[in-house]
Amino acid sequence: MSIESLIPCVLTNRIEETRAFYLEHFGLELTWDSEHYIGFRSRDAKRPFQLAFRAPHPGEPTFAGGLSYAFEVADVDKEHARLTREGVRVLGAPKDNPWGDRSFVVLDPNGVGLYVNQPIPVAAEMAAFVRS
């Protein structure tokens, strides 16, 4: 199989809140905007990406947790300060991680964890795990 693209899609009853959150705090561009489905794409990213959210079909459950997206940024401390100032639910201060990033986590309106990170050197004890 040759996969052309991947667009993660979260099932939610919070379409309006989700639309506002990603437009206001992450500057994503809408590719589709209806009361039942919203699609976003990144603007000017080194590695473009897309996200989608849709209302569940009758009998289909909504998102129940356990999902995280990693958003790589140029300055994690600057983004932490901005998102905190904007009132986003931030889970802790940025911290250096031995696997090679400095990061913090925020939650979107659906409970999706957004792992906001900036690359830093990998610690010596983790170097053996790096593949390309």
Could you read off the pLDDT tens digit of each residue along the chain, which spans 132 residues?
Answer: 998 888 999 999 999 999 999 999 999 999 999 999 999 999 988 889 999 999 999 999 999 989 999 999 999 999 999 999 999 999 999 999 999 999 999 999 999 999 999 999 999 999 999 997
Indicate if 53 and 71 belong to the same structural domain. Answer: no
Residue 109 lies in a domain: yes
- Characterize the bridge pairing of strands 37-41 and 50-54: antiparallel
Indicate if 74 and 112 belong to the same structural domain. Answer: yes
Torsion sign over Cα 44, 69, 62, 12: negative
Domains in the chain, number: 2
pTM here is: 0.90
Domain containing 102 equals 67-124
Indicate if 86 and 37 belong to the same structural domain. Answer: no
Indicate if 27 and 73 belong to the same structural domain. Answer: no
Which helix or strand (DSSP H or E) is residue 67 part of? Answer: none
